[in-house]
Structures are given as C-alpha cells and as structure tokens.
Amino acid sequence: MGEKVVADGFDLSDRQRYRAKLQQCLTGLGRLLAEKRFDKPRNLVGLEIELNLAGADGMPRMMNGEVLERIASRDFQTELGMFNLEVNIQPHRLGGRVLEQLAEELRTGLAYAHRKAREVDAGIVMIGILPTLAEKDLVSANLSDVDRYVLLNDQITAARGESFALDIDGVERLTSTANSIVPEAACTSVQLHLQVTPDRFADVWNAAQALAAVQIAVGANSPFLFGRELWRESRPPLFTQATDTRPPELQAQGVRPRTWFGERWVSSAYELFEENVRYFPALLPICDDEEPLSVLDAGGVPQLQELVLHNGTVYRWNRPVYEVVDGVPHLRVENRVLPAGPTVEDVVANAAFYYGLIRALADDARPVWRRLAFEDAARNFDTACRHGIDAELTWPRPGRAGGVTTVPAVKLVRDELLPLAAAGLDAWGVEKADRDRYLGIIEQRCRRGVNGASWQVDTFHQALEEGLERDAALAATTRQYCRLMRQGEPVHTWPVGIGDD
C-alpha cells in the first residue's frame, strides 16, 4: 500500500481491466514458482511497529504530520490515523547478535522520535490500543491527509454501502457505529517479516497460523476501547468490523471478511494469492503499465503490482508478501498478530519467541498442522484474544500418543514451546546469551501471569478502587504506562497501580 495513488475514482472498465491484470499476475506468479526464479535462502527478518501519539496528559494527539516533519527520517512513516506513526527497521540476517541489534536500533530510533514529538507537546506510545481514545477521535476528520488512505476509506465505505457496526462483547460490551474506516487506526501492531524460499513458505505460514493464538496469549496489550474493557486483545474484532465491506446479508451468506484468519492449511504461497483474487473484489483497481507475461517472456522479472496492491487490501493475520529486490523476486511471511509494546524489551522478546518457534515447528518431522485441525487453530486465536494470558488452548498431545488436549497457554509455553523456541534460535545461530535473555522475558510473563493487557486492567481497577472516575482512571493508567514504558523494563516487572500520578 506504499505506492502513491490518486483519489480520482474508478469506472467499470477500470475494474474489468484490473481483474484481467490480476489473472495475468497470478499466471506470472505461477510461472515464476515453476521456473524456480526466486531468491536463495537468506534468513532475513524485518520489523515494523505502528505507534500512537499522546500528550503528557495521556490523551491522543492528532498531529502525525507535524511530528514526522520534525523527525525527518525515512524510517518513520505516516499511518491511517492522525495520531499514528510507523517505524520500520531495516532487514537483518537472523543470527548472531541480531536480537540485541534490533533492540538497540529500536531504543535509539524511538527515543529520538519521542524527543522530536515532545517539541510539539506529543509523545510516542507503543500500545495495542490507546486506552484514552474516544469515539470522537476516530472520525474521518482525523484520517491522515494521504491520498491512499482517503481512497481506501472511500472504496471500503462505498463497498459496504452503510455505516460500520462495532459490536464487541467482552468483560463489558461496546456497541457503536462509524461512517469511516478510521476506527481501524486504533489498532497498532508489530509486523514481523521472514523471507523464505517457495519450498519453505507453506511450512512457515502454517506454523505461524498455529502459533498465532500463543503469540496473543503471551503478548496481549489491547484491553480497552472507547472507555470499555473488552477482550484482552481487542484489535482483531475491532479490525475485522472496522474493515468489513459486507452488509449483514452477505455476512449471513458466509462471504469472507477482508480481515481474515483463513480457513485451511496450505501447501504453497500461490494458494493464498489465488484465494485473495477469487474471494475478494478489488478495492483499488489501479493498473500498472507493466504487462507481466510479456516481461516473463522476455526473460525479465515482473513486479506484479496489481497482485501486490490487492494483497495489501486483504488483512490476513499472517500475510504472504511478494517483492522484487535488485531484480530478484522473493517471498515473505508477514506476521501481523502482535500488538505494539509495551517496551522495546517486550517487543524483541516477542520476536525472539516467534522466530525461534517458527524455525522449530517448520523443521518438525511431525508438524503441528498435521496434528491440529485448522478449525482448532482458528478457535484458539479467538480464545486467546478474549482471555489473553489466562487462555486455555487446544493443542496436540506431546509425544506419540496422538489426539489433542486442552492446556493453559502458560503451561504450554513453559513446558513445550519455550524449549522449542530456544532450539529454533540455536538453529538460526542466534547468540545464546541473547536467546536466554529474551526468552526469559516470555518465561517470566508466564510464571507471573502478567502481560501488557493484564497490567493495564489491574492498574485501571486499582485506580477505580482508589476513587477515580472511569475516564480519569483510564488516563492515569495511560500516563503510568507511558512512564514505565520509557523506563524500559519489561512489563512483567511493572508494579500495579498509578503510582504518584
């Protein structure tokens, strides 16, 4: 979605041509795969974090343009809402001191961005959903002034043809309506990229799907929206409903939502791109001049721009990515499951856990996706979003006994998955001291039953018990979160309560 687009509208011929170009791109992708034209294994990883802007009072600040102008770095980019930014860390080879390198780059970049934001009475906040966001903040007037966001909003709202209905039933229930996709901007996430060869893609994507629930259980950090306590990780239901182009009649017919966990294990990357084309109408039917099949016939490598653009408007929690770098195509799995924050230490711990487990499970001779029904993986994801670190998940029984069992997420992680993650990081060649440090953070979260969501909820309720009104308690919780986030110690060490706020 990074390319410049212009909001001029589309006619019928645009959509027909775009559909034809998508089919050409699919054919081109199939040929590239059959001809084995993809990059060799490089073990490259990338990291993106979506961020919030808030003032010293804990309230959102609608000023990403001013902040980005002061930051003046290509590593920081705009995002959907005017209270959002995104930071991108350049690709690293997975091995050695990569975890500490990622941590140091994030610390340096975020500290610099925060200093620049402070110049205009704002600050950088890494959190899944800013607790102080109100319905009045998530309106079309606060959409970032960027052509592609305006156009995307226009196309999604036109496709739906009516207001978006938000209905999330958690600890409390939230019902609301929106006339734009801006509520999606409340969701700020971490995106973990892993470049893979075509032969490895399916194993890595399937493993990532199986692990999504576990990632949420240990990493949940989004329990509040519009002053209501909802799910421990409220981003998935919010994102699903805020981008839903289906009116109720199409939902009743079983038409798939654009924010989608999926419905089956796969055997190739091609299947995911083909599903995107088959199930989802184009939102941005913008055609490139490239003729992909002619480029292939001439021995070149097509950019497949239409396929890439369309892929960016289907919001899978684990997304396939096609990209051409220096004339060579490659595939990536983009893991979009995790919320932002709470600290750099926590973000890198989550990344270490993910990359280690992906390697171990993708290498397993008895892979988890052969022993776990996809429906169970999808149900696990929903359960983990609802209950966070207290979730109980369906998982294959250890050993050769076969079958599945229900196990507390913290027990599954400590007894089975952390040793696998350690073995996976060893297989990548990651420095053992860094491996132990960051996986130790995950282990301590499980031992103490604490993650970002549980800390927010416990601190909020303590503030209520101390006599604060609901809005004041949410603001105080946010301010304390920001103070502790900037101190940098992982969330499982944070004292509950608003301190001397």
The model's pLDDT over 385-395, given as tens digits with 9 standing for 90+, comes to: 999 999 999 99
pLDDT at 84 over 60: yes
pLDDT at 2 over 50: no
pLDDT for res 404: 95
pLDDT at 11 over 70: no
Closest CA to 261 of 404, 354, 408, 375: 375
DSSP per position, 134-197: -GGGSSGGGB-S-HHHHHHHHHHHHHH-SPEEEEEESSSEEEEEESSSGGGGG--BEEEEEEE-
Q: If you count DSSP H runs as helices and E runs as strands, how many of each does the chain have, helices first?
A: 17, 15
How many beta carbons lie within 10 A of that of residue 224, not counting itself? 28
Angle, helices 374-387 vs 198-219, to 10°: value is 30
Q: How buried is 116 (Cβ within 10 angstroms: 0-12 exposed, 13-18 middle, 19+ buried)?
A: buried
pLDDT for res 217: 98
pLDDT at 8 over 80: no
| 398 Cβ neighbours under 8 A, 6+ residues apart | 416
pLDDT for res 6: 45
pLDDT at 291 over 70: yes
Three-state SS string over 26-51 comes to: HHHHHHHHHCCCCCCCCCEEEEEEEE
pLDDT at 5 over 50: no
Per cent of the chain over pLDDT 90 is 89
How confident is the model over 15-38, as a mean pLDDT? 94
Phi, psi of 127 (to 5 degrees): -160, 150
pLDDT for res 103: 98
- Taking the C-alpha atoms of residue 274 and residue 264, their distance in angstroms, rounded to an integer, is 14
pLDDT at 248 over 70: yes
Of 196-210, 215-229, 273-287, the one with minimum mean pLDDT is 273-287
pLDDT for res 102: 97
Q: Binning pLDDT at 50, 70 and 90, where does residue 47 land? A: very high
Task: Specify the DSSP element, H or E, that contains 225.
Answer: strand 224-225
pLDDT at 3 over 60: no
pLDDT for res 13: 66
Q: What is the pTM of this model?
A: 0.96
Query: Each residue of 132-173: pLDDT tens digit?
Result: 999 999 999 999 988 889 888 998 998 888 999 999 999 999
Query: Each residue of 451-462: pLDDT tens digit?
Result: 999 999 999 999
Query: Each residue of 293-352: pLDDT tens digit?
Result: 999 999 999 999 999 999 999 999 999 999 999 999 999 999 999 999 999 999 999 999
Which parts of 94-140 are beta strand (E)?
A: 123-125
The tokens describing 23, both together, are 């089919």
pLDDT at 372 over 60: yes
CA atoms within 13 A on the CB side of 288: 19
pLDDT for res 9: 54
- Taking the C-alpha atoms of residue 191 and residue 347, their distance in angstroms, rounded to an integer, is 10
Q: What average pLDDT does the structure give for the chain?
A: 95
pLDDT for res 1: 37
